[in-house]
Structure 1
């Protein structure tokens, strides 16, 4: 993208890192005395919003959101496509208060990790998948009862542009057991903020919020059906916004038709 854009990207990361340090220190001093909703706004909404602001004004990475009318009045489980770091910033600021799954190792990062612990994330040990699933089920249900949005990236990791990973059923299971819907979200952030490397590209990220989806029944069959419905909606929407390869989408449609 050129030397100038590379310099702007370097400045972006410097400012983002400095802001994380400064805001973590400020938050550790002030946030513990706030109610949880106010604490979430103070810590997460302000800093994540600043990250999105920096990306827009330094890197010319803008965004547009469609489907806002689909957001239910009740808190529920968000099942979002995962391609980059941008959507973590954006969704954390857009839906509030929100709890999300992260690696427990982040809690060990001085200042930043300690601050993260104040906003009630679900910190799992990825080396122990069975225990992680139990923890997600227990703490996820608690967060929903506390009237938090619950952000799940069902692919489990960032998947590059053009691809889509298998959706785990953890998020759908939580929604079914709580009697709440899932809210699918598609986007093409990976086109401008790739998974690998530090390079960025200017452009407009499309964020598409789908219809709230309820389970048809109860039990494991209803969970699997809801999860598949959300997966197919995300895949179809990813294809529509140019973020899923045609061959990959054709294979998904062929499998769904069987």
Structure 2
């Protein structure tokens, strides 16, 4: 019952907070990309504080020492809305690869676009990959890491969805390290699940995959590392419960 009440309070608070900050942030849209990104981080910090207060849900990130000093691609497991928010704080000044449709959301979507995130039009075929590469190069030229969710959508705990070709295109064309990331956020903030469970989301940043691998070998290595580490995080949490 406590988590149901807390989840209700979080949802109400989240939508009120988002509405207020969206309207208050309208003038920010006229400012440069970094100002939009900084404003979004303020909103995310407030959202995560609300999540802690109402649902008693926190997080821990391990392995940040594995991030290269230079340009890189962060390729993460995707189980929850949580990482689309928190990763803006975990991986500073990053550019997300996300569905272009999100840019059409009034104010919030416009701010995503103005912040320099990378939109993908899944219906565009090969031209979509060309667009991603162009925008990713622009982000990297300004010193920003790229964050991509290789599965392309949120997956349930235990699900093993195919990894999409976008991450391979970025890896082979940009010739920078890819950093795999595992997490267990779906155990606490599930896909299409109203109640958010109390506890601690664990994020594990794994050693980078160096550039230069053949495409098929890279995809297998990335998949195997992420899925193995994600399975271990899930099993460890389930054992605690």
The answer, yes or no, to whether TM exceeds 0.5 is yes
Question: What RMSD over aligned residues (CA atoms) do the two structures have, in Å?
Answer: 2.0
- Do structure 1's residue 153 and structure 2's residue 149 form an aligned pair? yes
Q: Is the 8 A contact 2:78 2:154 kept in 1?
A: yes
Cα shift at 1:243: 5.5
Matches within 5 A, 1:191-202: 191-202=187-198
Q: Which protein has greater RCO, CA pairs closer than 8 Å, 6+ apart?
A: 2
Partner in structure 1 of residue 239 of structure 2: none
Matches within 5 A, 1:162-177: 162-177=158-173
Task: Deviation per CA, 1:55-77: give whole Å up to 9, x if none.
Answer: 22211111111112111111311
- Do structure 1's residue 8 and structure 2's residue 6 form an aligned pair? yes
What is the TM-score with the length of structure 2 in the denominator?
Answer: 0.89
Q: Is the 8 A contact 1:154 1:168 kept in 2?
A: yes
CA distance in 2 between counterparts of 1:109 and 1:166 reads 28
What is the TM-score with the length of structure 1 in the denominator?
Answer: 0.84
Number of residue equivalences: 236
3-state SS in 2 of match to 1:224:
helix
Task: Deviation per CA, 1:193-215: give whole Å up to 9, x if none.
Answer: 01122221111111000011112
Task: Deviation per CA, 1:142-188: give whole Å up to 9, x if none.
Answer: 22222111111000111100122222232233133222100110000
Partner in structure 2 of residue 46 of structure 1: 42
Name segments (4+ residues, structure 1) moved above 6 Å.
none
Partner in structure 2 of residue 231 of structure 1: 223
Cα shift at 1:22: 1.8
CA distance in 2 between counterparts of 1:130 and 1:243 reads 38
Matches within 5 A, 1:1-258: 2=1, 4-30=2-28, 32-33=30-31, 35-41=32-38, 43-217=39-213, 222-242=214-234
The unaligned stretches of length 5 or more in structure 2 are 237-241
The unaligned stretches of length 5 or more in structure 1 are 245-258
Q: Is the 8 A contact 2:120 2:131 kept in 1?
A: yes
CA distance in 2 between counterparts of 1:148 and 1:37 reads 11
3-state SS in 2 of match to 1:79:
strand
